[in-house]
Structure 1
Amino acid sequence: MKKKQLTAAIMTALMTLSASAYAAEQTTSMDSYELAPVDVEGQRQAAVAGGLVSTEARMGIMGDVSVMGIPYSMQSMTAKAIETYGDPSQPLANVLANNPSIRSSTSSPMYTDFSMRGINMNGNHFMLNGVPSLFYQFTTPPAHIIERMDITSGPNAAVNGVSMSNNGTNSGATPAPGTINAVTKRAANAPITKYTQVISGRSTAGEYIDIGRRFGKDNAWGVRVNGEMLQGGLALPGAKIDSKDFFVNIDHRGKRSMTNLFFGYWDHNIDGAQRWFTYSGNGRELPTAPNAKTSYDFPETWKRMYVKVLTLNHEQKLSDTWKAFFNMGYSFRDGTKMNSGANLQFDTNGNFTNTNRSNAQNESGKNMYLQLGVAGEVSTGDVKHNLALSVDRSRAQYWNANGYGARGLYGGNLYDGITFGAGFYPLPAMPTQKAQWSETNVGISLMDTMTFGKWNVLLAATHKHEYLKNHTNNTVIRNNNILPTWGLTYHPTTNTAIYYGHTESFSRGFVVTDSKYVNKGDVMDPVKSKQNEIGVKYENKGLLTTFSLFQIDEANRYDQDAGAGKFRYVADGKNIYRGAELTVNGQIAPRLTATGGVLYLDAERDKTQGGAKDGFFVNGAAKWSTVLGLNYDLSDQLSLIGRLNWMGKSYIDSRGPGARTEIPSYATVDFGMKYRTQLDGMPLDLSLMCYNATNRSYWMGRGGSTTFGLSMPRTIMFSAALSM
Structure 2
Amino acid sequence: MTTPIMARRAYGPSFALLTLSVAISAATHAQTLTDEEKAKADAAIEEMIVTSRFTTNDRLDTATGLGLTLYETPQSVSVMTSQRIFDQDLRTLTDVVNNAPGVSARGLDSSRQSFSARGFSIDNYQIDGIPMTWSSGGDAGETQSNTALYERIEVVRGATGLLTGAGNPSASVNLVRKHADSKVLTGSVNASVGRWDTYTATADVGTALNRSGSVRGRVVANYEEGDSFRDLAGDETSVFYGVVDADVTDNLLVRVGASYQDNEPTASTWGGLPVWFSDGGRTDWERSKTIGADWTSWASTVQNQFADLIYNFNDDWRLKLNVNRNVNEADLLLIYMSGTVDRDTGMGLNPSPYNAETERDQISYSAQLSGNYSLFGNEHELTLGAISSDQDFISQTRARSDVAPIGNFYEWDGSYPQPTWGEQSVASEVNTKQDGFYGATRLSLTDEFKVILGGRISNWEQTGQNYGTPVDLGDDNVFTPYAGMVYELTEQHSLYASYTEIFQPQSERDRNGDYLDPIEGINYEVGVKSRFFNDALHTTVTLFNVVQENLAQPDVGQTVPGTEPPVQASYGADGAESTGIELEMVGEIADGWDVSLSYTAFEAEDADGEPVNTNQPDQLIKLYTTYQFGGALDKLTVAGGVNWQGENYTDTTNPVTGQDERLEQDAYALVSLMTRYDITSQLSVQLNVDNLLDETYYSQIGFYNQLEYGEPRNVTASLSYQF
Q: Quickly name the TM-score band, shorter chain normalised.
A: 0.7 to 0.9
Cα–Cα, structure 1 residues 652 and 161, in superposed 2: closer, same or farther, change >3 Å? closer
Cα–Cα, structure 1 residues 493 and 708, in superposed 2: closer, same or farther, change >3 Å? farther
Cα–Cα, structure 1 residues 511 and 604, in superposed 2: closer, same or farther, change >3 Å? closer
Contact 1:620 1:651 in 2 (8 A): yes
The corresponding residue for 1:578 is: 579
* 2:690 aligned with 1:691: yes
Cα–Cα, structure 1 residues 408 and 533, in superposed 2: closer, same or farther, change >3 Å? farther
Q: C-alpha displacement at 1:96, in angstroms?
A: 2.5
**For residues 198 and 450 of structure 2, what CA distance do their matches in structure 1 show?**
50
Q: C-alpha displacement at 1:161, in angstroms?
A: 5.0
Q: C-alpha displacement at 1:300, in angstroms?
A: 1.6
Q: Deviation per CA, 1:660-711: give whole Å up to 9, x if none.
A: 4433222211112112223xxx711222112112222211348999775321
The corresponding residue for 2:16 is: 35
Q: C-alpha displacement at 1:447, in angstroms?
A: 0.9
**For residues 623 and 378 of structure 1, what CA distance do their matches in structure 2 show?**
43
**For residues 183 and 234 of structure 1, what CA distance do their matches in structure 2 show?**
29
The corresponding residue for 1:547 is: 541
* 2:644 aligned with 1:646: yes
* 2:242 aligned with 1:248: yes
**Structure 2 residue aligned with 1:468, among 457, 462, 480?**
462
**Structure 2 residue aligned with 1:477, among 464, 468, 473?**
473
**For residues 195 and 108 of structure 2, what CA distance do their matches in structure 1 show?**
13
The corresponding residue for 2:26 is: none
**For residues 570 and 361 of structure 1, what CA distance do their matches in structure 2 show?**
32
**For residues 41 and 714 of structure 1, what CA distance do their matches in structure 2 show?**
43
1:82 counterpart SS class: helix
Q: Deviation per CA, 1:481-530: give whole Å up to 9, x if none.
A: 11111111111122222111111111223389xxxxxxxx9977532211
**For residues 576 and 286 of structure 1, what CA distance do their matches in structure 2 show?**
35
Cα–Cα, structure 1 residues 46 and 440, in superposed 2: closer, same or farther, change >3 Å? farther
**For residues 273 and 41 of structure 1, what CA distance do their matches in structure 2 show?**
50
Q: Deviation per CA, 1:580-633: give whole Å up to 9, x if none.
A: 1111111233332211311111112224xxxxxx42342312221111112122
**For residues 643 and 154 of structure 2, what CA distance do their matches in structure 1 show?**
21
Percent identical pairs in the alignment equals 16
The corresponding residue for 2:664 is: 662
**For residues 605 and 708 of structure 1, what CA distance do their matches in structure 2 show?**
25
**For residues 316 and 400 of structure 2, what CA distance do their matches in structure 1 show?**
63
* 2:75 aligned with 1:72: yes
The corresponding residue for 1:83 is: 86
Cα–Cα, structure 1 residues 94 and 320, in superposed 2: closer, same or farther, change >3 Å? closer
1:56 counterpart SS class: coil
1:401-550 residue pairs with structure 2 within 5 A? 401-403=396-398, 409-410=405-406, 416=410, 425-426=418-419, 428=421, 431-433=424-426, 435-451=428-444, 452-472=446-466, 473-480=469-476, 481-510=478-507, 526-541=518-533, 542-550=536-544
The corresponding residue for 1:150 is: 154
**For residues 703 and 128 of structure 1, what CA distance do their matches in structure 2 show?**
32
1:603 counterpart SS class: strand
Cα–Cα, structure 1 residues 579 and 48, in superposed 2: closer, same or farther, change >3 Å? farther
Q: Deviation per CA, 1:450-475: give whole Å up to 9, x if none.
A: 12320111111110011110234443
Cα–Cα, structure 1 residues 662 and 230, in superposed 2: closer, same or farther, change >3 Å? closer
Q: C-alpha displacement at 1:286, in angstroms?
A: 10
**Structure 2 residue aligned with 1:55, among 57, 68, 76?**
57
Q: C-alpha displacement at 1:71, in angstroms?
A: 0.4
The corresponding residue for 2:3 is: none
Cα–Cα, structure 1 residues 186 and 65, in superposed 2: closer, same or farther, change >3 Å? same
CA RMSD of aligned residues (A): 3.8
- 2:713 counterpart letter in structure 1: R
1:221-300 residue pairs with structure 2 within 5 A? 221-253=215-247, 254-274=249-269, 276-277=271-272, 287=282, 290-300=285-295
Q: C-alpha displacement at 1:93, in angstroms?
A: 2.0
Q: C-alpha displacement at 1:398, in angstroms?
A: 0.3
- 1:574 counterpart letter in structure 2: G
Q: Which moved more, 1:393-402 or 1:589-598?
A: 589-598
Contact 1:357 1:404 in 2 (8 A): no
Q: C-alpha displacement at 1:440, in angstroms?
A: 0.5
**For residues 336 and 42 of structure 1, what CA distance do their matches in structure 2 show?**
46
- 1:157 counterpart letter in structure 2: G
Q: C-alpha displacement at 1:48, in angstroms?
A: 6.8
Cα–Cα, structure 1 residues 191 and 666, in superposed 2: closer, same or farther, change >3 Å? same
- 1:252 counterpart letter in structure 2: A
The corresponding residue for 2:33 is: none
Cα–Cα, structure 1 residues 300 and 371, in superposed 2: closer, same or farther, change >3 Å? same
Q: Deviation per CA, 1:57-91: give whole Å up to 9, x if none.
A: 52346353211100000112211111112344xx4
Contact 2:190 2:720 in 1 (8 A): yes
**Structure 1 residue aligned with 2:324, among 314, 318, 329?**
329
Contact 1:484 1:503 in 2 (8 A): yes
* 2:591 aligned with 1:590: yes
**For residues 605 and 94 of structure 1, what CA distance do their matches in structure 2 show?**
30
Gaps of 5+ in 2: 1-10, 21-41, 554-567
1:97 counterpart SS class: helix
**For residues 697 and 420 of structure 2, what CA distance do their matches in structure 1 show?**
31
**For residues 602 and 619 of structure 2, what CA distance do their matches in structure 1 show?**
6
Cα–Cα, structure 1 residues 31 and 497, in superposed 2: closer, same or farther, change >3 Å? closer
Q: Which moved more, 1:61-70 or 1:141-150?
A: 61-70
- 2:216 counterpart letter in structure 1: G
Contact 2:121 2:168 in 1 (8 A): no
1:77-156 residue pairs with structure 2 within 5 A? 77-88=80-91, 91-106=92-107, 110-121=111-122, 125-133=124-132, 135-136=134-135, 137=138, 138-140=141-143, 141-156=145-160
Q: C-alpha displacement at 1:652, in angstroms?
A: 1.0
Contact 2:158 2:170 in 1 (8 A): yes
Q: C-alpha displacement at 1:376, in angstroms?
A: 1.7
Contact 2:294 2:414 in 1 (8 A): no
**For residues 645 and 281 of structure 2, what CA distance do their matches in structure 1 show?**
16
Q: Deviation per CA, 1:520-566: give whole Å up to 9, x if none.
A: x99775322111111111110222111111111236689xxxxxxxx
Q: C-alpha displacement at 1:393, in angstroms?
A: 0.6
Contact 2:66 2:370 in 1 (8 A): no
Q: C-alpha displacement at 1:391, in angstroms?
A: 1.8
Q: Deviation per CA, 1:379-413: give whole Å up to 9, x if none.
A: 21144221111122111110003446689944666
* 2:718 aligned with 1:719: yes
Gaps of 5+ in 1: 1-29, 166-173, 513-520, 559-567, 608-613
1:557-568 residue pairs with structure 2 within 5 A? none
Cα–Cα, structure 1 residues 421 and 723, in superposed 2: closer, same or farther, change >3 Å? closer
**Structure 2 residue aligned with 1:203, among 197, 200, 222?**
197
- 2:70 counterpart letter in structure 1: V
**For residues 227 and 687 of structure 1, what CA distance do their matches in structure 2 show?**
20
1:93 counterpart SS class: helix
Contact 2:273 2:290 in 1 (8 A): no
**For residues 354 and 100 of structure 1, what CA distance do their matches in structure 2 show?**
40
* 2:607 aligned with 1:606: yes
The corresponding residue for 2:678 is: 676
**For residues 617 and 464 of structure 1, what CA distance do their matches in structure 2 show?**
29
1:431 counterpart SS class: strand
1:642 counterpart SS class: strand
The corresponding residue for 1:517 is: none
* 2:361 aligned with 1:366: yes
**For residues 68 and 352 of structure 1, what CA distance do their matches in structure 2 show?**
59
Cα–Cα, structure 1 residues 482 and 585, in superposed 2: closer, same or farther, change >3 Å? same
Contact 1:619 1:702 in 2 (8 A): no
Q: C-alpha displacement at 1:148, in angstroms?
A: 1.3
